[in-house]
Amino acid sequence: MPFIDNETGISLLKLALDNNSNITYTYEYPDDVLKVLEIAGAEKLVKQNMANNPTLKELVSNKSFFTLNSITCIILNKNKKEVKRIKTTRDEMLAQIKSNKVVNENEIILQGLINELNKRLPVTDKDFGFKYLNCELQNKTIVNTYLVPNQYTEALDLLEKQGKGAIKKGLLGTSLVEKLVNSEEFKIDKITSIYRNEKGKELKKYTLTKQEFNNIKN
């Protein structure tokens, strides 16, 4: 050791088995891979990788000379400082193997990007005072919610006409949404823009297909 995965840059530094049949892997992750761990749901990916490991699968399935009770994954940064510790039990792994449920990595990454976007919201348009309040992922639809200043609540239809439908696409954050929508990995089908007044009442709601979204130029 260490064993280095040339594709990801992840290094396996240590492998330890205690007297109670618990195994511990110690890894060093490069900085770019560590960022993935910050995404909500990334722990599921690590556990899925454990369940998909043929050797570990055999050990927890009691097909070998002893039965593994738990697996712990210790993740270090390049300075050898522990960043994350993930543990899964034999029962958890057996349930994962039995269900054969696959955790979609791209869905987790997409949700993580949306979570990061929401940390930066709300954003206010300096010229007209519209606010980009929230972004959600609902199945394969991105849903954006905007706040409309009181002086414009009666003029949404006019804004739609004058802007050649741009209001349907969204008034703020469209450059980032375009990247998410047009990424082949994320498979976004539709984009919804919801406009609310300052009391929270829904004024307008538009849902576009990916093609319709791309056909509208801001």
Reported as half-sphere exposure (CB side, CA atoms, 13 A), residue 153 has a value of 12
Nearest by Cα to 211 from 169, 150, 160, 157: 169
Contacts with 152 (C-beta within 8 Å, 6 or more apart), sequence order: 128, 129, 130, 159
Selected from 3.30.300.250, 2.10.109.10, 3.40.50.920, 3.40.640.10, the CATH number assigned to the domain covering 107-215 reads 3.30.300.250
Fold match, 3-102 / 107-215: yes
CATH architecture of structural domain 3-102: 2-Layer Sandwich (3.30)
The Cα angle at residue 92 between residues 19 and 73, in degrees rounded to 5: 55
**Is there a contact between 205 and 156 (Cβ–Cβ < 8 Å)?**
no
**Is there a contact between 156 and 162 (Cβ–Cβ < 8 Å)?**
no
Domain ranges for the chain:
3-102, 107-215
Higher pLDDT, 24 or 174: 24
pLDDT digits (tens, 9 = 90+) for 49-98: 777 777 777 777 765 566 788 899 999 999 999 999 999 988 888 887 77
pLDDT, position 200: 93
Question: Token pair 């519209």 is at which residue?
Answer: 130
Higher pLDDT, 151 or 45: 151
